[in-house]
């Protein structure tokens, strides 16, 4: 291993992995999933040396175990249950679940196979490892870090002088960070400063949230809706959101309730997000499509149900920077609660382009699964016939099921 270990704690993942993990443990422990890595950058190539380093880093990650101090921290989160924490006491990543090879495209393929309970937890650390290996080995890392620090200080100055007023915002950048050190520096500096029109409320990185005494932020991801809604062969996938929301409420009640709207389009989501769920969930998250149109749609939906939008939160998390977030906050001011989860712009803004890499669920229980988001091209499925089938199911429901 050429670099120091990149992942040094099993807490070093996004909070929603534990939120979903608890539901999976209690309700879907027998589900099996396949996950596939994809690099969307057309000009990026991973060398043989990079691939070998990624393998060694993932082996090191698979040697980690939760400490009792870490488990105690998780147990103090009000919606985390002792049964799941006890499971994590025994849990360990398995290198045998990985298949890592070289290819002629970007130079790197990664797939994981096994129980959803295991493979879900691999996604974020794997992406963090791939990022850090790439930026250490493809560039002069110290120069990148210097440009990162310079840009970070400029961002903080813009918040301090009220150039941008974001209201509540969190850091969501673990999966695409420049490095562990860069992400920690960003969280530390954002947390130690005060801003007239903005409040830094937390990070998705549970390890850093614990270290700096801030809120670990995150509820559900697309995988939850895709696997719950599409992994059962008896389910009509156009009702994926109903199944996913129903099981979430069974697990959490009114706690931990921010629903993701765009797994099979927001319009289809709203067919299931009726009075009961709209009341129980504290808000919804935007991850694709025009944020202004989406926000207007959500406000109208709440009003149509007789719910005051001012009692609900719209969490925006799609490709944000401070300028874009400021415009959204200003546009919706006084009409609804607003919050932001800002990722790469905080954790990997340097003089070179960030990687656009993802690792997505591509099969569940032997079935193809897919998302059809509000932005064309954000989905990932190896079987175009299944995507066509899913789209037909959604279209039929939107046209006939009123």
Which CATH number do you get for residue 152? 3.20.140.10
For residue 387, is it within any domain? no
Which tokens sit at 100? Answer: 């890592």
Q: What pLDDT is attached to residue 69?
A: 98
**pTM (predicted TM-score):** 0.96
The helix-helix angle for 48-61 and 123-138 (nearest 10°) equals 140
Domain containing residue 282: 147-347
Within a domain: residue 89?
yes
Residues 259 and 218 both lie in one domain = yes
Residue 38 lies in a domain: yes
272 and 310, same domain (yes or no): yes
Verify that 90 and 46 share a domain, yes or no: yes
CB atoms within 10 A of CB 370: 26
Q: Are residues 129 and 259 in the same domain?
A: no
CA distance 172 to 180: 13
Smallest CA-to-CA distance from 335 within 317, 313, 315, 316 is with: 313
- Is 341 found in the same domain as 202? yes
Residue 51: inside a domain = yes
Alpha-carbon torsion (139, 142, 143, 146), positive or negative? positive
215, 297: one domain: yes
Interhelix angle 222-230/15-27, nearest 10 degrees: 20
For residues 241 and 371, is the Cβ–Cβ distance under 8 A?
no
From residue 215, give the alpha-carbon distance in Å to each of 208, 211, 240, 391.
Answer: 9, 11, 30, 38
Instruction: Give the residues of the chain that fall short of pLDDT 70.
Output: 402
One domain, residues 154 and 115: no
Residue 229's SS3 state is helix
Give me the pLDDT at residue 401, please.
Answer: 74
- N- to C-terminal Cα distance for the chain? 58
Overall number of domains in the chain: 2
Q: Cα(167)–Cα(186) distance, rounded to whole angstroms?
A: 18
Same-domain check for residues 212 and 80: no
Among 37, 46, 186, 24, CA closest to 123: 37
CA distance 251 to 112: 27
């Amino acid at each position: 291993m050429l670099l120091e270990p990149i992942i040094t704690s099993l807490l070093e993942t996004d909070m929603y992995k534990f939120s979903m993990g608890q539901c999976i443990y209690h309700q879907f422990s027998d589900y099996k999933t396949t996950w596939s890595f994809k690099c969307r950058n057309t000009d990026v190539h991973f060398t043989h040396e990079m691939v070998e380093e990624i393998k060694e880093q993932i082996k090191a990650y698979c040697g980690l175990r939760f400490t009792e101090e870490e488990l105690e921290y998780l147990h103090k989160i009000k919606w985390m249950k002792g049964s799941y924490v006890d499971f994590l006491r025994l849990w360990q990543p398995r290198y045998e679940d990985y298949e890592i090879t070289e290819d002629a495209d970007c130079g790197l393929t990664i797939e994981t196979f096994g129980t959803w309970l295991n493979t879900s937890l691999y996604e974020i650390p794997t992406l963090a490892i791939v990022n850090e290996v790439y930026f250490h080995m493809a560039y002069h890392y110290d120069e990148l870090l210097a440009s990162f620090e310079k840009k970070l200080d400029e961002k903080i100055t813009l918040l301090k002088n009220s150039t941008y007023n974001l209201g509540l915002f969190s850091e969501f950048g673990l999966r695409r960070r420049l490095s562990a050190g860069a992400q920690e520096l960003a969280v530390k500096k954002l947390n130690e400063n005060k801003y007239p029109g903005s409040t830094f409320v937390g990070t998705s990185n549970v390890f850093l949230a614990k270290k700096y005494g801030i809120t670990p932020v995150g509820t559900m991801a697309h995988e939850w809706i895709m696997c719950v809604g599409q992994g059962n062969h008896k389910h009509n996938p156009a009702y994926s959101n109903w199944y996913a929301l129903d099981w979430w409420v069974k697990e959490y009640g009114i706690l931990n309730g921010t629903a993701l709207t765009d797994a099979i389009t927001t319009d289809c989501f709203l067919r299931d997000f009726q009075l009961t769920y709209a009341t129980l969930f504290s808000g919804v998250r935007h991850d694709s499509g025009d944020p202004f149109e989406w926000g207007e749609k959500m406000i109208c939906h709440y009003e149509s149900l007789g719910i005051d939008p001012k009692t609900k939160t719209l969490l925006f998390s799609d490709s944000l920077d401070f300028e874009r977030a400021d415009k959204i906050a200003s546009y919706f001011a006084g009409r609804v609660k607003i919050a932001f989860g800002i990722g790469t712009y905080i954790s990997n803004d340097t003089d070179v382009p960030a990687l656009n890499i993802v690792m997505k669920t591509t099969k569940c229980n032997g079935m193809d699964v897919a998302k059809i988001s509000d932005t064309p091209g954000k989905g990932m499925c190896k079987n175009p016939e299944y995507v066509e089938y899913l789209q037909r199911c959604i279209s039929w429901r939107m046209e006939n099921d009123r």
